[in-house]
Amino acid sequence: MNKVILLRYGELHLKGKNRGYFEKILIKNIEEKLSVYNCKLDVYRGRYIIHNIDEQVISDITSDLTKVFGLYSLSIGYETESEVDKIFEVSKQFVRSGSFKVDTHRADKNYPLTSVEMSALIGEKLLDAYDDLKVDLHNPDFVIYIDIRETGKTYVFCDKIKCAGGMPLGSAGKGLLLLSGGIDSPVAGYMMSKRGLKLDAIHFFSYPYTSEAAKQKVIKLAGEMAPYCGSVNLVLVPFAKIQEAIHKYCHSNYMITLVRRAMMRIAERVAIIRDCGCLVNGESLGQVASQTLESLNVTQSVIKRLPVLRPLIGMDKEEIVEISEKIGTYATSILPYEDCCTVFLPDNPVTRPRIEFAEAEEAKIVDYDKLLEEALSGIEVLKI
């Protein structure tokens, strides 16, 4: 018998004639994760099976695979010949104390025993071999799964380890994530990657008002997202001159609104240049002054060509923090390094801005278009 890892996908079952497209991307993503290990992925009619596994790294392999979007679950099991005695010997590897049941799937319809007959036979043999075992078909302490394939091989396993789910990364195109350095935006990137969206990211920094440590924090966040979201092209935009101009020429209570409008203008242009089909941000309705319905409307009104996706829009902070902790970005997100959104903060930011007022304030800024162009010409791109 040979140790194997069995992989299962979820939503791809619903894709009908298009399933092949999604499977091709999923297989590519799995192979990329496995490329650092000396093992082999085989695909048999929707069954993904990993062979030639080094026992010393099996926990690393399973940990990496649980982060592959499109995979629903995996199991560590054994491959054996489809003979009753050999299947029984392998099944003994999974016996624990307490109650059990055997669950057989017979893909090979020419096999002489039905699924029910095989489950009953193996269960009976296990009861004879272990005095302290008992059968419970409804609420067992553990289940031994037997998968009889058309290839003459059978796979036996017990536990099903939950994976990331969702759709294969890259199957839904590419988007540009506004990555601020806080808790919300990495979670927003994770949520959209789970729906198959490959990401580039954009970050606005305001040196010397923000430190090099703040910039490095965002680079670290992009790296912490990579196990789920893949490699990220991080676009760093110098933003200090724009903020200085807004602070100098405009009413202070519109400061945040105007800053976010400038960010959205630049982000849309960068997204189009980088062939991204949407913008993604971590806004949650009503969480702060810049995320009221009126603020979202005024901010988004500068976007002309691309949709803005807000996967966290209906979530509360506790839900967002829970996901942040799960994906490993929370500890970095709460590091006390300022970002550009904290520069020149007004005492009383407007919570119900109006588009005509925002446009009137922007008209006061000398050489506004030139400042936007300078920011675009000064970008730096890092592959994380």
Q: Which pLDDT band, with edges at 50, 70 and 90, does 259 fall under?
A: very high
What average pLDDT does the structure give for the chain?
A: 93
Is 369 buried (19+), middle (13-18) or exposed (0-12) by CB count in 10 A? exposed
Among candidate residues 115, 262, 124, 267, the one with its CA nearest the CA of residue 185: 267
Query: In the predicted model, what is the mean pLDDT of residues 175-181?
Result: 95
238: Cβ contacts below 8 Å, ≥ 6 apart: 205, 206, 207, 375, 378, 379
Dist CA 26 CA 231 (whole Å): 16
- Cβ 66 vs Cβ 74: under 8 Å: yes
Confidence check: pLDDT of 136 > 70: yes
Q: Which amino acid is at 104?
A: T
Per-residue pLDDT of 57-115, as tens digits, reads 999 999 999 999 999 999 999 999 999 999 999 999 999 999 999 999 999 999 999 99
Dist CA 165 CA 193 (whole Å): 11
pTM: predicted TM-score of the whole model, two decimal places: 0.92
Q: Which domains does the chain have, with CATH numbers?
A: 2-162 (3.30.2130.30), 174-383 (3.40.50.620)
Dist CA 7 CA 260 (whole Å): 43
- Cβ 368 vs Cβ 232: under 8 Å: no
Confidence check: pLDDT of 251 > 70: yes
Confidence check: pLDDT of 26 > 70: yes
Per-residue pLDDT of 145-154, as tens digits, reads 999 999 899 9
Query: In the predicted model, what is the mean pLDDT of residues 357-363?
Result: 96
357: Cβ contacts below 8 Å, ≥ 6 apart: 254
Q: What pLDDT sits at residue 339?
A: 65
Tokens of 97: 């104390």
Q: What pLDDT sits at residue 342?
A: 62
Query: In the predicted model, what is the mean pLDDT of residues 201-219?
Result: 89
Query: In the predicted model, what is the mean pLDDT of residues 194-198?
Result: 97
Among candidate residues 78, 222, 206, 228, the one with its CA nearest the CA of residue 154: 78
Residue 58 phi/psi, 5-degree rounding, is -65, -35
Per-residue pLDDT of 272-326, as tens digits, reads 999 999 999 999 998 887 789 999 999 999 999 999 999 999 999 999 999 999 9
- Cβ 322 vs Cβ 376: under 8 Å: no
Q: What pLDDT sits at residue 366?
A: 96
Residue 383 phi/psi, 5-degree rounding, is -95, 115
Confidence check: pLDDT of 178 > 80: yes
Give the three-class secondary structure for 335: coil
166: Cβ contacts below 8 Å, ≥ 6 apart: 10, 11, 69, 70, 193, 194, 195, 196
Tokens of 8: 């299962």
Give the three-class secondary structure for 265: helix
Q: What pLDDT sits at residue 47?
A: 82
Confidence check: pLDDT of 191 > 80: yes
Dist CA 24 CA 116 (whole Å): 34
Place of tokens 């997202």: 225
348: Cβ contacts below 8 Å, ≥ 6 apart: 253
Per-residue pLDDT of 331-350, as tens digits, reads 999 998 766 666 667 778 88
Q: Which pLDDT band, with edges at 50, 70 and 90, does 15 fall under?
A: confident
Per-residue pLDDT of 3-13, as tens digits, reads 999 999 988 87
Per-residue pLDDT of 27-73, as tens digits, reads 999 999 999 998 999 998 768 999 999 999 999 999 999 999 999 99
70: left (phi over 0), alpha (psi -120 to 50) or beta: left
Q: What pLDDT sits at residue 10?
A: 85
Q: What pLDDT sits at residue 343?
A: 64
Q: Which pLDDT band, with edges at 50, 70 and 90, does 186 fall under?
A: very high
Place of tokens 């039905």: 114
Q: What pLDDT sits at residue 206?
A: 87
